[in-house]
Amino acid sequence: MERNVETFIACDAPFEDADIVLYGAPFDSTTSFRPGARFGAAAMRHESFGLETYSPYQDKDLEDIAVFDSGDLELCFGSAEAALADIEARAEEILAAGKFPLLLGGEHLVTLGAVRAVYKKYPGLHIIHFDAHADLRDDYLGAKLSHACVIRRCHDLLGDGRIHQFCIRSGERAEFRFAQAHTEMHKFSFEGLEACVEALRAANAPVYLTVDLDCLDPSAFPGTGTPEAGGVGFLQLIEAIFKVCRLNVVGADLNELAPMLDPSGVSTATACKVLREMMLSLSN
Ligand SMILES: [Mn+2]
């Protein structure tokens, strides 16, 4: 007999052997609209057993790669700063072991903890950001640490020209003005991604990939806190992920699945499939 331990499907390599380490951040305290993303990572682990380990898109199999699933962190819901410190410490531990940190949200603010750790190791870091929302507010109702501000906080760290945003279709006018001066923003779709990837490859830049699953159209992915009509489809998203994974990707995350907001379970199944494709694409 074996202990009853649930990992994401086929992500059961020992830590020492793993190339990729999954870590869940069940945090949604700064969610501005409908909460529930704290349950995202756990739901993905559970629902992943409805998924094949083999990807016909890439002719690769999760059984052939080494992934360790470290489960969910125990985070303080009452303090965003404390939660971010714990996420940062976990990412640092994974990086120190020479492994790839792959974070499962949670709301999008969790990205900041991971980026702080990755940026320390890779000061030349660029961020590729897929999202419906700009997330460039300087504060949200006075709070600097909010999922509506997460990319702005990343910009505080990285500075101009290092953040590349795609699929953006929502935000305040001030965020779009900020983007014109400080980030490379591509509205509505993945148009421009090929050129972005070419430039980053030529520069051999280390890249952090953050995927807010609400970049998907709500018809395909309704299980999220702030759904925005006019999004991309699943195939477009995985093709974009494949392109980015040709780069020197040094950290990544998948966030904003709120499983209870989609009683059909389709959003969770979709998130699982995106994660499978991302892990297989990262393990080139
Ligand atoms: Mn979003």
How does pLDDT run across 217-230, given as a tens digit for each residue? 999 999 999 999 99
Where does the pLDDT of residue 32 fall: very low under 50, low under 70, confident under 90, or very high at 90 and above?
confident
Is residue 193 situated within a structural domain?
yes
Percent of the chain with pLDDT over 70: 100
Is residue 9 situated within a structural domain?
no
204: helix, strand or coil: coil
Is residue 62 situated within a structural domain?
yes
CA of 64 to the centre of ligand 1 (A): 32
Q: Which two tokens stand for residue 190?
A: 């993945």
Q: Which two tokens stand for residue 229?
A: 């009509």
* pLDDT (0 to 100) of residue 3: 85
Rounded CA gap, 115 and 126, in Å?
A: 10
φ/ψ of residue 268, rounded to 5: -65, -45
Is residue 8 situated within a structural domain?
no
Higher local confidence (pLDDT), 90 or 284: 90
Average pLDDT over residues 15-38: 96
Residue 188 Rama label (left phi>0; alpha psi -120 to 50; beta): left
What's the CATH number where 42 sits? 3.40.800.10
CA of 69 to the centre of ligand 1 (A): 25
Q: Which two tokens stand for residue 65?
A: 């790669």
Is residue 3 situated within a structural domain?
no
Is residue 278 situated within a structural domain?
yes
Q: Which two tokens stand for residue 258?
A: 């709120």
Q: Provide Rg for the chain, Cα atoms.
A: 17
CA of 19 to the centre of ligand 1 (A): 28
Where does the pLDDT of residue 270 fall: very low under 50, low under 70, confident under 90, or very high at 90 and above?
very high
Where does the pLDDT of residue 142 fall: very low under 50, low under 70, confident under 90, or very high at 90 and above?
very high
CA of 131 to the centre of ligand 1 (A): 5
Per-residue pLDDT tens over the stretch 95-131: 999 999 999 999 999 999 999 999 999 999 999 999 9
Where does the pLDDT of residue 4 fall: very low under 50, low under 70, confident under 90, or very high at 90 and above?
confident
pLDDT at 284 over 80: no
pLDDT at 77 over 80: yes
* Domain membership of residue 268 as a residue range: 15-282
Is residue 114 situated within a structural domain?
yes
CA of 158 to the centre of ligand 1 (A): 20
* pLDDT (0 to 100) of residue 5: 87
Average pLDDT over residues 58-73: 98
Which one-letter amino acid corresponds to residue 254? L
Average pLDDT over residues 20-46: 96
* pLDDT (0 to 100) of residue 252: 98
Q: Report the number of distinct structural domains present in the chain.
A: 1
- Rounded to the nearest 5 degrees, what angle is found at the Cα of 110, between the Cα atoms of 239 and 21? 65
* pLDDT (0 to 100) of residue 158: 98
Q: Which residue has the tokens 């997330």?
A: 135
CA of 159 to the centre of ligand 1 (A): 21
* pLDDT (0 to 100) of residue 122: 98
Is residue 160 situated within a structural domain?
yes
